[in-house]
Structures are given as structure tokens and as C-alpha cells.
């Protein structure tokens, strides 16, 4: 491996100065009022919030006005919504199409899946067994109603991803939609999105592509134009924003499909009912934060370039965290060298995954390990087959349970080292 590849694979930490600036912008970065001082490594299930979002919500949710009134307060709220939608296109690299919101990413994904499955010609729908219920269940539910076959590609049990070749075995000229996850919330593995879409369109050039990007959006850049995505959904709370708002984007052609809507409005309008202006305002605060981070990392030019720079910097810092977690340092052993610890789905190439790590322990149930971590001031989470949110995915990769460790770009090397110390302690 050459030095360039080695650097790309091992990542690069933010400078101490920048990392302190980043952490100063977060609520509860290293403590909460219930646990006291702690390290937060459960970002795959939540994430910290920007202080500005908390402050903004306290001020903006008090307005009684609707965005569609002639008052000055209403004009302010309407501008907030428009900016939030524009910022979504900016974040995704979209030059056209429509943006909308709902309570959750799952609700957004159901909405888009219904429109595609019900209205695009074709006798089958393709997905994978690695999916969150938001994509798998919606594909299954609407395919059954529409009388279309659901075809399910199997996950690779070694990598924790869905291989392009396996997915292509299920795609044909009668496939109306291919729906899959950008990065697994269980295994952390990145699907080869560009390759999967490219190969699918070789088989059927006008196939509709739907992506669940909920787990990936905090970890790397997305370009819907380059990827030619028709529908993509996520939620802003995964990347420092407000909980309670799912965001959807549909391409120009997808936006014109019949869908649940206000019938006298434009067909390209996907909002149903009143929006929450403050939620869109919080999303814009997240985008402003990414632009700030991109500038601090040396990006010049427009806001899109700043966002891309920020997301690349986040990728590299998180990869450095992941590499240290696996391999440690001169002063501490990494997980790969700690007895009775099993790290799953991680090969030599760390560029093929987001900063989510799946672990099991010899002779110790995952729930017991999670409790021991929490007792030692480290918040992680277990995924178990008894949960309807993870049973199918776990069985797809041959596991009944695991401990999921998910740092984010505000975490430090010192926090990783403390995690490794606790791991060595609890497996004795």
C-alpha cells in the first residue's frame, strides 16, 4: 500500500484547536445532567445537537403565525422554510426536483416508495435484506398492494454490505424500483452506491432508484445529480439538527408521479399539511455549521464547495477515530489485539465503511457489555434480534446480537483511548 492510500485508509485527525472549536458548538458534548461526565458513542441512534439549534428552537417555536399570512412574522417564517428547502438541495447537490418534510425519515421513505411502486410500470421491486424497516417494509407493503413481486438481495455476511453482483441478480427489465440503504445502520458498511446504480441502469436505463441515506448523511458527502438518484430520505437529527423532522428529495421526473398531496396544488409539491418553520430553520443552522467547518478546513468558493470540504474532513477525522479504535496506538492496544473481542465486517480497507463498529464478546451478552460500558461512563448500544428494528438485518449477517459503537466527528482520540481501556477491563 502506497503512502497516499495508507493516509486515506488511516484517516487524519482534526487539529486540537479545530476540534475544541467544534466541541464548543455542541450541547452535552461530554456530560449530561443524568449521567454526569460521559463519552457519547451512540450517534448511529441519535447524535448531539448544535447549541444554536437549541437556542433557535426556543425563540422561533413561540410564534403563533402561519408562514402563509400577510404579517411580517409570517413572512419571516416563510423565508425560513424556503431557505431550509434550498439548503437541502445545496446539501444534496440537487439542481432540480422537489423537497418535502414529514415527522420522520421513515414516513418520508414510505411516501416516496408508494408513489414509485404504484405508478411506475414494472412487475417487480428490488431491495435487500440489509434494509432498515423504513425501506424494506415500505417496499414489501406497497409491492403487495400493487400486485408486484418483491425481490430481496442477500447481504454479504463477511463485509456487512449488499454486493452489486448480488443485487443485479434480482434486477431485470421489469423492475420498477431499486430501493436500498446507503450505509447500514447495523454493520456500518457502505454499499457501492455508484456501481450499483450504474449496473442497474445497464439492465434497465429508466429504473427508479430510492436511497435511504439516514445513516450516511453525518459521515460523507452526497451528490444526487452525479448518482442520478430519484428519491432519497434522511432525518436531520442524525447530523446535529432537530429530532422530529424527516426530509425527502425527489428528482424532477419522480416529483411528477401521482402521490398524496393537496390536489389543487402543483403536482410537484410533496408537502402535505402545515410544515414546521423552526425545523427548517434548524436544518439551515446545520448547513451553516458545515459551511463554517468547510471554510476552517480551507475551502474557498461557494457554499456547496464548503459543504463538500466539511464532509471530506469529517470522513477523514472519523476514519482516524475508527483506525485508532481498531489498532490502538503505541500506548494502548486496539480492539484487534484485545482477547475475547470480536469485531465484525471490518476488512483492511476502511474507506468502505462509515464510523460505525459492530462487536460481540466471548461469553458475554451484548446487553451486559452495554451496561458495563455505561457504568464506566461510555454510551454505546446493543442491537438484538428480539427488536423488530434489527431482527431481519442481524439474521441477514448471521448474528443474534451485537454492540454498536458509533463515534462522530466531534469525538476525540482521547475518548477512543478511554473506550479501549474500558473494553480491556470488561472482557477480563
Q: pLDDT of the chain along its 428 residues, tens only?
A: 344 447 789 999 999 999 999 999 999 999 999 999 999 999 999 899 999 999 999 898 888 878 888 889 889 999 999 999 999 999 999 999 999 999 999 999 999 999 999 999 999 999 999 999 999 999 999 999 999 999 999 999 999 999 999 999 999 999 999 999 999 999 999 999 999 999 999 999 999 999 999 999 999 999 999 999 999 999 999 999 999 999 999 999 999 999 999 899 999 999 988 889 999 999 999 999 999 999 999 998 899 999 999 999 999 999 999 999 999 999 999 999 999 999 999 999 999 999 999 999 999 999 999 999 999 999 999 999 999 999 999 999 999 999 999 999 999 999 999 999 999 999 98
CA atoms within 13 A on the CB side of 114: 12
Q: How far apart are CA 161 and CA 130, in angstroms?
A: 7
Q: How far apart are CA 306 and CA 206, in angstroms?
A: 32
- pLDDT at position 150: 98
Q: Coil, strand or helix: which one is 319?
A: helix
Using only C-alpha atoms, the chain has a radius of gyration, in whole angstroms, of 22
Residue 148 corresponds to which cell in the numbers above? 408486484
With CA atoms as reference, report the closest residue to 99 among 91, 109, 89: 89
Contact predicate 397/375, CB 8 Å? no
Where would I find the beta strands (DSSP E) of 236-278? 246-250
User: In terms of DSSP H, where are the helices of 234-346?
Assistant: 252-255, 277-296, 303-327
Q: How far apart are CA 223 and CA 249, in angstroms?
A: 12
HEC states along 343-395?
EECCCCCHHHECCCEEEEECCECHHHHHHHHHHCCEECEEEECCCCCCHHHHH
- pLDDT at position 1: 36
First-to-final CA distance of the chain: 35
Contact predicate 182/209, CB 8 Å? no
Q: How far apart are CA 423 and CA 428, in angstroms?
A: 9
Measured from the Cβ of residue 94, the count of other Cβ atoms closer than 10 Å reads 22
Please, what's the b/e burial string for 331-357 (b: 16 or more CB within 10 A of its CB; e: otherwise)? ebbbbeebeebebbbbeeebebbbbbb
- pLDDT at position 48: 95
**Nearby residues of 391 by Cβ (< 8 Å), 6 or more positions away:** 385
Chain-centroid distance, C-alpha 256? 26
- pLDDT at position 61: 86
Q: How far apart are CA 355 and CA 146, in angstroms?
A: 38
Instruction: Write down the pTM of the prediction.
Output: 0.95
**Nearby residues of 392 by Cβ (< 8 Å), 6 or more positions away:** 129, 131, 133, 136
Q: Biggest alpha carbon distance in the chain?
A: 67
Pairing of strands 36-37, 31-32: antiparallel
Contact predicate 48/27, CB 8 Å? yes
- pLDDT at position 4: 43
Amino acid at each position: 500500500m502506497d503512502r497516499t492510500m495508507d493516509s486515506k485508509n488511516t484517516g487524519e485527525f482534526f487539529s486540537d484547536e479545530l476540534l475544541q472549536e467544534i466541541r464548543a458548538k455542541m450541547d452535552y458534548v461530554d456530560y449530561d445532567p443524568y449521567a454526569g461526565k460521559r463519552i457519547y458513542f451512540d450517534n448511529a441512534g441519535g447524535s448531539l445537537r448544535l447549541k444554536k439549534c437549541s437556542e433557535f428552537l426556543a425563540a422561533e417555536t413561540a410564534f403563533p403565525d402561519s408562514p402563509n399570512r400577510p404579517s411580517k412574522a409570517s413572512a419571516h417564517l416563510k423565508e425560513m422554510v424556503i431557505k431550509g428547502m434550498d439548503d437541502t438541495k445545496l446539501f444534496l447537490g440537487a439542481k432540480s426536483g422537489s423537497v418535502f418534510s414529514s415527522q420522520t425519515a421513515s414516513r418520508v421513505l414510505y411516501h416516496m416508495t408508494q408513489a414509485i411502486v404504484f405508478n411506475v410500470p414494472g412487475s417487480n421491486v428490488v431491495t435487500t435484506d440489509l434494509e432498515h424497516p423504513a425501506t424494506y417494509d415500505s417496499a414489501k407493503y406497497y409491492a403487495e398492494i400493487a400486485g408486484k413481486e418483491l425481490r430481496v438481495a442477500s447481504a454479504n455476511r463477511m463485509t456487512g454490505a449488499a454486493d452489486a453482483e448480488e443485487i443485479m441478480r434480482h434486477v431485470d427489465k421489469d423492475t420498477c424500483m431499486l430501493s436500498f440503504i446507503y450505509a447500514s445502520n447495523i454493520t456500518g458498511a457502505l454499499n457501492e452506491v455508484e456501481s450499483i446504480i450504474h449496473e442497474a441502469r445497464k439492465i434497465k436505463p429508466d429504473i427508479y432508484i430510492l436511497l435511504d441515506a439516514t445513516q450516511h448523511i453525518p459521515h460523507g458527502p452526497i451528490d444526487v445529480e452525479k448518482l442520478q438518484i430519484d428519491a432519497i430520505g434522511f432525518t436531520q437529527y442524525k447530523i446535529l439538527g432537530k429530532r422530529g423532522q424527516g426530509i425527502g428529495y425527489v428528482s424532477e421526473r419522480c416529483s411528477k408521479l401521482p402521490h398524496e398531496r393537496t390536489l389543487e396544488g402543483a403536482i410537484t409539491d410533496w408537502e402535505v399539511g402545515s410544515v414546521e418553520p423552526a425545523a427548517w430553520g434548524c436544518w439551515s443552522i446545520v448547513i451553516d455549521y458545515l459551511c463554517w467547518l468547510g471554510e476552517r478546513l480551507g475551502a474557498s468558493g461557494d457554499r456547496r464547495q464548503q459543504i463538500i470540504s466539511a464532509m471530506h474532513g469529517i470522513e477523514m477525522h472519523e476514519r482516524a477515530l475508527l483506525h485508532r479504535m481498531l489498532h490502538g496506538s503505541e500506548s494502548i492496544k486496539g480492539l484487534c489485539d484485545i482477547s475475547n473481542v470480536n469485531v465484525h465486517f471490518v476488512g483492511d480497507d476502511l474507506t468502505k465503511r462509515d464510523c460505525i463498529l459492530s462487536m460481540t464478546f466471548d461469553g458475554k451478552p451484548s446487553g451486559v457489555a452495554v451496561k458495563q460500558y455505561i457504568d464506566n461512563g461510555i454510551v454505546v448500544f446493543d442491537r438484538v434480534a428480539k427488536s423488530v428494528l434489527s431482527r431481519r438485518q442481524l439474521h441477514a449477517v448471521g448474528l443474534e446480537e451485537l454492540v454498536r459503537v458509533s463515534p462522530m466527528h466531534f469525538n476525540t482520540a482521547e475518548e477512543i483511548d478511554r473506550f479501549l481501556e474500558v473494553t480491556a477491563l470488561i472482557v477480563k
